[in-house]
């Protein structure tokens, strides 16, 4: 486990230290375009998880569509109980190996997002599909998160604020924070021409009213 922090300087150091550990995790061996499988950049994963810790949200963490486990593992490294759900067994095998390699325990469960159930309220931290291959693919993840969680950290493509606000009104949530980033997307599929490109994303913290 990583040492916790007591000041802003220590939090900054923790983000950097955590990102270094996450850089060592294995990504997708055979990414599936229909599932929009991309690895969350370690720096962004670290930023989100440390922020959740600072805000008192990092207790019981659920990662919907966890892939190879980076968000769930980052949470476990900061002493959270973490569970990751994914429909891809191959990705879950990598996630389990990743957790073992860095010395943390995370429960990784094979499941469709629609079928996920948890016994108590949690914080969801997730990077759902953006809906590029299948329109509105992120809605299933967001609706499930709002069903099971009191607090949600979720990553979406830039320009999603109107949609997120509409869903929050319908489901009894509020946006407490919105952070905007540009992240490097590494070449993952054969149709990608460049080694990486910068894409704009939005990270939301949502809270049940």
pLDDT, tens digit, for every residue of 51-78?
A: 999 999 999 999 999 999 999 999 999 9
Mean pLDDT across 111-140: 85
Residue 196: pLDDT over 90:
no
What average pLDDT does the structure give for the chain?
88
Burial 26-38, CB ≥16 within 10 A → b, else e: ebbeebeeebbbb
pLDDT confidence of 37, banded at 50, 70, 90?
Answer: low
Give the pLDDT score at 4.
54
* C-alpha to C-alpha distance for 131 and 186, rounded to whole angstroms: 18
Judge contact between 102 and 40, C-beta under 8 A: no
Give the pLDDT score at 28.
83
Mean pLDDT across 98-115: 97
Residue 159: pLDDT over 80:
yes
Give the pLDDT score at 85.
98
Give the pLDDT score at 7.
58
Judge contact between 2 and 14, C-beta under 8 A: yes
Percent of the chain at pLDDT > 90 equals: 71
Give the pLDDT score at 192.
47
Backbone angles phi, psi at 87, to 5 degrees: -90, -10
Tokens of 94: 């990598």
Residue keyed to tokens 């094979």: 110
The pTM of this model reads 0.90
**Residue 3: Cβ within 10 Å count:** 9
Residue 5: pLDDT over 80:
no
């Amino acid at each position: 486990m990583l040492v916790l922090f007591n000041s802003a300087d220590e939090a900054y150091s923790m983000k950097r230290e955590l990102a270094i550990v996450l850089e060592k995790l294995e990504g997708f061996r055979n990414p599936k375009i229909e599932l929009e499988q991309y690895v969350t950049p370690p720096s962004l994963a670290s930023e989100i998880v440390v922020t959740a810790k600072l805000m008192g949200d990092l207790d019981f963490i659920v990662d919907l569509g966890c892939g190879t486990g980076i968000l769930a593992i980052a949470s476990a490294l900061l002493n959270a109980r973490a569970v990751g759900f994914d429909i891809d067994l191959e990705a879950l095998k990598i996630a389990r190996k990743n957790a073992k390699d860095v010395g943390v325990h995370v429960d990784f469960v094979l499941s469709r997002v629609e079928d996920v159930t948890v016994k108590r309220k949690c914080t969801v931290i997730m990077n759902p599909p953006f809906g590029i291959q299948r329109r509105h693919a992120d809605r299933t993840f967001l609706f499930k998160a709002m069903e099971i969680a009191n607090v949600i950290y979720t990553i979406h493509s830039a320009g999603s604020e109107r949609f997120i606000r509409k869903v929050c009104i319908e489901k009894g949530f509020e946006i407490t924070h919105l952070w905007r980033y540009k992240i490097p997307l590494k070449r993952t599929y054969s149709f990608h021409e460049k080694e990486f490109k910068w894409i704009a994303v939005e990270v939301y913290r949502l809270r049940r009213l």
